[in-house]
């Protein structure tokens, strides 16, 4: 299992995502699927950077492993409890001016993962994202 932990700051986004890219690539995923894994990871991380630690500094860690045919990401932070799995998605049919773009990231996470699980344990948010070799439409 490969792991990376860094302060939850926007300046660390590329390093964290490049790590995820490299591990998904090593797992034998296609370039297109790696890009979808990266997208889900970015949306989760940006959300953590923006909302998990409103008044303090904190860290985020990512563990990657392969289980059977699946690539699994576990993302942990010690910030404000937030269950991205149960958060509402935007209405994709609303018009340009009404669109709630903020919810799009959550929509992407749900679209790109085969399965997403959330638990709050030991004062941490633990999000498990499971990716099959292809996106299920």
Partner 1 sequence: MKIQHMGQKKNHIVITVEGRMDAVSAPEFEQFLNGLIDEGVLKVIVDFEGLDYISSAGLRSVLITAKKMQSKSGEILIVSLHDTVKEIFEISGFSTIIPIHASVATALETA
Interface residue with partner 1, options 2, 10, 119, 134 (CB under 8 A) = 10
Stretch that binds partner 1, among 36-44, 55-63, 78-86, 119-127 (CB under 8 A): 36-44
Min separation Cβ 81 and partner 1, Å = 22
The answer to whether the CB of 26 falls within 8 A of the CB of 33 is no
Q: Of the ranges 39-47, 62-70, 78-86, 118-126, which one interacts with partner 1 (CB under 8 A)?
A: 39-47
Q: Is 85 in the site for partner 1 (CB under 8 A)?
A: no
3-class SS string, the chain: CEEEEEECCHHHHHHHHHHHHHHHHHCCCCHHHHHHHHHHHHHHHHHHHHHCCCCCCCEEEEEEEEECCEEEEEEEECCCCCCHHHCCCCCCCCCCCCCCHHHHHHHHHHHHCCEEEEEEECCEEEEEEEECCCCCC
- Cα separation, 125 vs 129, in Å, equals 13
CB 113 → partner 1: shortest distance, Å? Answer: 13
Question: Which one of the spans 42-50, 54-62, 65-73, 113-121 is the region binding partner 1 (CB under 8 A)?
Answer: 42-50
Asked if 67 is part of the footprint of partner 1 (rule: CB under 8 A), the reply reads no
Interface residues with partner 1 (CB under 8 A) are 10, 13-14, 17, 32, 35-36, 38-39, 42-43, 46, 92-93, 95-97, 99, 101, 104-105, 107-108, 111
């Amino acid at each position: 299992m490969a792991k990376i932990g860094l302060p939850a700051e926007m300046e660390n986004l590329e390093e964290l995502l490049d790590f995820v890219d490299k591990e998904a690539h090593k797992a034998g995923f296609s370039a297109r699927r790696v890009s979808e894994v990266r997208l889900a990871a970015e949306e989760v991380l940006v959300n953590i950077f923006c909302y998990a630690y409103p008044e303090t500094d904190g860290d985020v860690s990512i563990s990657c492993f392969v289980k059977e045919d699946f690539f699994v990401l576990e993302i942990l932070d010690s910030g404000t409890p937030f269950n991205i799995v149960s958060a509402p998605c935007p209405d994709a049919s609303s018009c340009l001016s009404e669109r709630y773009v903020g919810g799009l990231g959550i929509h992407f996470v749900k679209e790109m993962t085969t399965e997403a699980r959330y638990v709050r344990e030991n004062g941490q948010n633990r999000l498990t994202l499971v990716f099959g070799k292809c996106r299920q439409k």
